[in-house]
């Protein structure tokens, strides 16, 4: 029995760490020592709590107090007030934006109320660098169970019956994938974990690896047992240094504890895991490209079949799953297929982790049961749109996905519903846009991304995405014509039909989806040469409203182009010829007299 | 960590280390557990609240009672009756006991926490906790 009477959990995810959470840990420890409480209170650095918007987050247990936006210098007050005297530090509590009431228990916060954490069960709860903490949460018990009580076939059946589908984006039934890999005979088979998270705005895989790396080690071992593989590889992008560090430590610790290596738990089972670093190429998330990259070749995809289950890494049967998919496995084994498949919708079981980003109040990492509606995610959990602006669209599925609008908000989120609505689940990036977002510009952003990420192997993707990006550039700078819009459509279709792999085939999706829903906005750009969202710089004009201008001359003094003229105490005007649209005048005006349209 | 040679051994390690995360697991389910809050402002500490709190935590552990969360809180305002503790059974209103000595704390555990019986020493509640 430990002597600790309280635990202080400090978020050690990449987001909070970059906001100096390490220093908070140091200061807390120092203050505890000063107050002679270091034997009674334990400070732990955990993975991501998910509530990144208000990080760094500090949680105190067992009274479940949730402090937000904590600074290193707050450590003294937290220890003196909360730890020594038991008084909550009011100013650090989360304030509900609607009721303006302070909420101390995270369970009562809207952000957490509708969540259900399976893949993220240990994120923000345990110290990811301590194997004992994982074991204390039944860690490696699922592995022990399969090795001592189940045949490989039984394991595959449980995964099949659970209804788990691949969380990397494709949504392929995981159990079926394992079954395929198990059928092929070979002297060597491989289990690969795809940790090459490339969607803009997505960070769920990184957070799982940072917050609960042992769950991936355990799940890969279980997979290895079921398909008859003895080697595991994690393909992880090199730009995830913290995830790499924690995962490597987990692998080393597991090996030392005999949970990886030979004769695991005395059962004769052998399995080990190595990391392979990716250079951060979007296409390498596709399994055939990923395997080529691991073999030291260019990360280019090849046609399937043959599927990796038959001929994968070095031509051997290989099973590739995404990080989040693996994170679900130990729980499914321990709690059973029935427990899992009761959660979610008819064809999409369990939960899904989403990375909420964009113009939303609560940017962060969330996990909800499949079937939760977009409205619940955006308004209840995400706290609605920032600065009281109007919701315009939500982009799901990254560059391969599409936009959903107001009319789709009550759609229960699952693999099939999102596809039916013209978007997709993807890996779970969810970027929320408001009235200030220009949709042709959004499409341009994604196209520039795919253009850069194209491997260049096939012409439709290499040249097609470049041309699409060029057309969008013309449109957003006021040089577009109606013919350009037709060309945009035609070219998108051609690329979709002819590109070699998923990257190219889906690259035009952001264009097609926005063209379809926001046609008027495209037309306004080419016909009226205006940007209705007030976003495209080249199409904007700045005006001074006469009735609001008091003639303070502040604007004319900051204008770098000398485009503003007028006399003191009289309304000024902007010379549109000279104006370079830098917006300096608008920032400077204290009277809101300058508008752009 | 030494090599784990069997599933049984892993289970034994779990039993040994699960207390590491127990406090946190309790915190996650705090609404379903018995909560004991010990007032630990200056007045409380001066009258021995810390000793009372430590006693309660140790005694519960000794008896293996796991459905109780003991936390500290600030001044409840009953400085004349320190040490004070507030006991909340799941789904019921909190009860505040005043002048809690070690003996009285023992009685609270035996009668109130284990059997749900109210005992002498209750201070009529004149305050409300705002969540």
For B14, which residue in chain A has the nearest alpha carbon? Answer: A136
Of the residues A8, A44, A64, A134, the best mutation for testing chain B's interface (the one with the most B CB atoms within 10 Å of its CB) is A64
Query: Tokens 């939760």, residue?
Result: A372
Alpha-carbon span A496 to A448, nearest angstrom: 17
Nearest partner of A197 among A233, A252, A166, A237, judged by Cα: A237
Q: Cβ of A265 and B11 within 8 Å?
A: no
| Total residue count of chain A as it appears in this document | 597
Q: Cβ of A257 and B2 within 8 Å?
A: yes
Of the residues A36, A62, A124, the best mutation for testing chain B's interface (the one with the most B CB atoms within 10 Å of its CB) is A62
- How are beta strands B85-88 and B95-97 bridged, if at all? antiparallel
Q: How many CA atoms lie within 13 A of A363 on its CB side?
A: 17
Of the residues B9, B17, B43, the best mutation for testing chain A's interface (the one with the most A CB atoms within 10 Å of its CB) is B17
Interface of B with A (CB under 8 A): 1-7, 9-11, 13-14, 17-21, 23-24, 26-28, 30-31, 37-42, 45, 53-54, 57, 61, 69-75, 130-131
Per DSSP, the residues of A241-286 read HHHHHHHHHHHHHHHHTTSSEEEETTTTEEEEEEEEEE---GGGGS
Q: Cβ of B4 and A265 within 8 Å?
A: yes
Residue A4 φ/ψ, nearest 5 degrees: -65, 135
Residue A235 φ/ψ, nearest 5 degrees: -95, 105
Is the interface score ipTM higher than 0.85?
Answer: no
Q: For residue A535, what pLDDT is reported?
A: 87
Of the residues B11, B14, B64, B75, the best mutation for testing chain A's interface (the one with the most A CB atoms within 10 Å of its CB) is B14
Which chain A residues have a beta carbon less than 8 Å from that of B5?
258, 265-266
Alpha-carbon span A434 to A386, nearest angstrom: 8
Q: How confident is the model at residue B121 (pLDDT cuts 50, 70, 90)?
A: confident
Q: Cβ of A265 and B24 within 8 Å?
A: no
Q: For residue A329, what pLDDT is reported?
A: 98
Kindly provide the b/e burial profile for residues A468-482, where b requires at least 16 CB atoms within 10 angstroms of the residue's own CB.
Answer: bbebbbebbebebee
Please list, in sequence order, all residues whose beta carbon lies within 8 angstroms of the beta carbon of residue B54, skipping any fewer than 6 positions away. A5
Q: For residue B28, what pLDDT is reported?
A: 84
For B45, which residue in chain A has the nearest alpha carbon? Answer: A85
Which chain B residues have a beta carbon less than 8 Å from that of A63?
27, 30, 69, 71
Q: For residue B32, what pLDDT is reported?
A: 86
DSSP E strands: which ranges in A158-203? 190-195
Q: For residue A1, what pLDDT is reported?
A: 41
Alpha-carbon span A149 to A141, nearest angstrom: 11
- How are beta strands A41-46 and A6-11 bridged, if at all? parallel
Q: Cβ of A86 and B39 within 8 Å?
A: yes
The residues pairing with A94 across neighbouring beta strands, listed in sequence order, are A103
Query: Tokens 């409840």, residue?
Result: B76
SS3 A158: helix
- Mean pLDDT within B65-70: 89
Q: For residue A492, what pLDDT is reported?
A: 96
Q: Which two tokens stand for residue B103?
A: 């003996």
SS3 A549: coil
CA distances from A66 to A10, A380, A560 (A): 10, 19, 47
Specify whether the CB–CB gap between A50 and A364 falls below 8 A: yes
Nearest-CA distance A314 → chain B (Å): 32
Specify whether the CB–CB gap between A199 and A427 falls below 8 A: yes
Print the SS3 string covering A308-319: CCCCCHHHCCEE
Nearest-CA distance B34 → chain A (Å): 12
Query: What percent helix, strand, coil does chain B show, rounded to 5?
Result: 45, 15, 35
Mean pLDDT of chain B: 87
Q: Which two tokens stand for residue A244?
A: 């790499």
Q: Which two tokens stand for residue A510?
A: 């952001």
Q: Cβ of B5 and A265 within 8 Å?
A: yes
pLDDT in tens, chain A (597 residues): 457 889 999 999 999 999 999 999 999 999 999 998 888 899 999 999 999 999 899 999 888 899 999 999 999 999 999 988 888 899 999 998 888 888 888 888 889 999 999 999 999 999 999 999 999 999 999 999 999 999 999 999 999 999 999 998 889 999 999 999 999 999 999 999 999 998 888 999 999 999 999 999 999 999 999 999 999 999 999 999 999 999 999 999 999 999 999 999 999 999 999 999 999 889 898 899 999 999 999 988 888 889 999 999 999 999 999 999 999 999 999 999 999 999 999 999 999 999 999 999 999 999 999 999 999 999 999 999 999 999 999 999 988 899 999 999 999 999 999 999 989 998 899 999 999 999 999 999 999 999 999 988 899 999 999 999 999 999 999 999 999 999 999 999 999 999 988 889 999 999 999 999 999 999 999 999 999 988 888 888 888 998 899 999 999 999 999 999 988 999 999 998 889 888 899 989 999 899 887
The residues pairing with A318 across neighbouring beta strands, listed in sequence order, are A190
Nearest-CA distance B117 → chain A (Å): 24
Q: For residue A440, what pLDDT is reported?
A: 95
Alpha-carbon span A333 to B41, nearest angstrom: 47
SS3 A364: strand
Longest dimension (CA), chain B: 58
Residue B129 reports pLDDT greater than 70? no
Residue A394: CB atoms within 10 Å: 26
Q: For residue B128, what pLDDT is reported?
A: 65
Q: How confident is the model at residue B131 (pLDDT cuts 50, 70, 90)?
A: low
Q: For residue A167, what pLDDT is reported?
A: 93
Interface of A with B (CB under 8 A): 1-2, 4-7, 9, 61-64, 84-88, 101, 103-105, 107-108, 125-126, 131-133, 135-138, 140-141, 144-145, 147-148, 253, 256-259, 265-267
Query: Tokens 């992008």, residue?
Result: A237
Q: Which of B3, B23, B40 sits opposite A257 (nearest CB)?
A: B3
Please list, in sequence order, all residues whose beta carbon lies within 8 angstroms of the beta carbon of residue A6, skipping any fewer than 6 positions away. A40, A41, A42, A60, A61, A62, A83, B23, B71
Which chain B residues have a beta carbon less than 8 Å from that of A6?
23, 71
For B131, which residue in chain A has the nearest alpha carbon? Answer: A103
Q: For residue B79, what pLDDT is reported?
A: 86
Task: Tell whether omega for the bond before B83 is within 30 degrees of 0, i.e. cis.
Answer: yes
Of the residues B3, B30, B69, the best mutation for testing chain A's interface (the one with the most A CB atoms within 10 Å of its CB) is B3
Alpha-carbon span A234 to A45, nearest angstrom: 24
Give the alpha-carbon dihedral of B45, B48, B49, B52, to 10 degrees: 160
Alpha-carbon span A56 to A77, nearest angstrom: 16
Query: Tokens 């070690």, residue?
Result: B102
Nearest-CA distance A231 → chain B (Å): 20
Query: Tokens 């902007």, residue?
Result: A574
Alpha-carbon span A510 to A397, nearest angstrom: 10
Q: Which residue has the higher pLDDT, A120 or B75?
A: A120
For B42, which residue in chain A has the nearest alpha carbon? Answer: A85
For A131, which residue in chain B has the nearest alpha carbon? Answer: B1
Q: Cβ of A133 and B17 within 8 Å?
A: yes
Nearest-CA distance B6 → chain A (Å): 4
The residues pairing with A344 across neighbouring beta strands, listed in sequence order, are A349
Q: Which of B5, B70, B130 sits opposite A258 (nearest CB)?
A: B5
Query: What percent helix, strand, coil does chain A show, rounded to 5?
Result: 45, 20, 40
Q: DSSP H helical segments within chain B, as ranges?
A: 7-17, 19-28, 42-46, 49-63, 102-107, 114-115
Q: Average the pLDDT over each of B71-85, B88-102, B113-127 and give the range with the smallest value.
A: B113-127
Q: Which of B3, B20, B45 sits opposite A136 (nearest CB)?
A: B20
Q: Which of B1, B24, B26 sits opposite A253 (nearest CB)?
A: B1
Q: Cβ of A61 and B41 within 8 Å?
A: no
């Amino acid at each position: 029995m430990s002597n600790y009477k309280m635990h202080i959990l400090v978020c050690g995810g990449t987001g909070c760490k970059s906001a100096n959470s390490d220093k908070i840990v140091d200061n807390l420890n120092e203050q505890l020592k000063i107050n002679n409480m270091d034997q009674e209170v334990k400070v732990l650095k955990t993975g991501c709590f998910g509530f990144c918007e208000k990080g760094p987050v500090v949680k105190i247990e067992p009274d479940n107090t949730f402090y937000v936006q904590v600074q290193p210098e707050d450590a003294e007050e937290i220890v003196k007030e909360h730890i020594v005297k038991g008084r909550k530090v009011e100013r650090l509590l989360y304030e509900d934006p609607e009721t303006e009431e302070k909420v101390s228990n995270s369970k009562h916060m809207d952000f957490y109320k509708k969540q259900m954490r399976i893949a993220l069960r240990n994120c923000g709860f345990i110290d990811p660098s301590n194997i004992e903490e994982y074991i204390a949460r039944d860690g490696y018990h699922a592995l022990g169970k399969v090795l001592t009580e189940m045949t490989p076939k039984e394991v595959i059946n449980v995964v099949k019956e659970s209804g788990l589908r691949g969380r990397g984006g494709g949504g392929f039934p995981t159990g079926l994938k394992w079954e395929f890999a198990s059928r092929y005979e070979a002297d060597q088979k491989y289990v690969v974990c795809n940790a090459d998270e490339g969607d803009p705005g997505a960070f769920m895989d990184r957070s799982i690896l940072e917050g609960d790396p042992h769950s991936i080690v355990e799940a890969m071992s279980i997979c290895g047992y079921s398909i008859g593989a003895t080697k595991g590889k994690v393909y992880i992008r090199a730009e995830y240094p913290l995830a790499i560090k924690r995962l490597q430590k987990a692998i080393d610790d597991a090996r030392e504890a005999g949970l990886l290596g030979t004769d695991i738990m005395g059962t004769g089972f052998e399995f080990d895991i190595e990391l392979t670093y990716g250079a951060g190429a979007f296409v390498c998330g596709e399994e055939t490209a990923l395997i080529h990259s691991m073999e030291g070749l260019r990360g280019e995809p090849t046609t399937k079949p043959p599927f990796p289950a038959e001929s994968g890494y070095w031509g051997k049967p290989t099973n590739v799953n995404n990080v989040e998919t693996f994170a679900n496995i130990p729980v499914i084994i321990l709690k059973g297929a029935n427990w899992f498949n009761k959660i979610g919708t008819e064809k999409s079981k369990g939960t899904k982790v989403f990375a909420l980003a964009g113009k939303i109040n609560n940017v962060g990492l969330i996990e909800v049961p499949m079937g939760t509606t977009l409205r619940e995610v955006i308004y209840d959990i995400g706290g609605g749109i920032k600065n009281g602006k109007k919701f315009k669209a939500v982009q799901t599925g990254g560059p391969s996905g599409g936009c959903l609008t107001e009319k789709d908000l009550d759609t229960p989120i699952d693999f099939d519903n999102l596809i039916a609505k013209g978007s997709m689940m993807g890996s779970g990036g969810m970027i929320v846009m408001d009235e200030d977002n220009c949709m042709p510009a959004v499409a341009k952003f994604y196209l520039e991304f795919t253009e850069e990420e194209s491997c260049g192997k096939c012409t439709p993707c290499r040249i097609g995405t470049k041309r699409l990006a060029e057309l969008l550039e013309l449109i957003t700078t006021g040089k577009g014509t109606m013919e350009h819009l037709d060309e945009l459509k035609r070219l998108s279709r051609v690329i979709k039909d002819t590109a070699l792999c998923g990257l190219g085939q889906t690259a035009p999706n952001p264009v097609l989806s926005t063209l379809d829903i926001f046609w008027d906005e495209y037309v306004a750009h080419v016909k009226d040469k205006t940007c209705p969202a007030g976003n495209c710089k080249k199409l904007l004009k700045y005006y001074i409203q006469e009735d609001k201008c008091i003639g303070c001359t502040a604007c004319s003094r900051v204008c770098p182009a000398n485009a503003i003229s007028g006399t003191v105490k009289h309304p000024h005007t902007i010379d549109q010829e000279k104006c370079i649209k830098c917006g300096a005048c608008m920032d400077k005006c204290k009277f809101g007299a300058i508008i752009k349209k | 960590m030494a090599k784990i040679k069997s599933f049984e051994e892993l289970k034994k390690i779990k039993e040994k280390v699960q207390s590491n995360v127990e406090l946190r697991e309790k915190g996650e389910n705090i609404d379903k557990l018995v909560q004991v809050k010990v007032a630990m402002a200056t007045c409380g500490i001066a009258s021995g609240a810390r000793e009372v709190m430590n006693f309660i935590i140790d005694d519960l552990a000794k008896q293996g009672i796991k459905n109780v969360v003991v936390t500290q809180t600030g001044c409840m305002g009953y400085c004349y009756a320190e040490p004070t503790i507030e006991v909340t059974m799941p789904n019921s209103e909190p009860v505040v006991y005043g002048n809690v000595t070690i003996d009285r704390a023992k009685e609270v555990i035996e009668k109130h926490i284990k059997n749900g019986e109210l005992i002498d020493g209750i201070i009529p509640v004149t305050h409300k906790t705002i969540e």
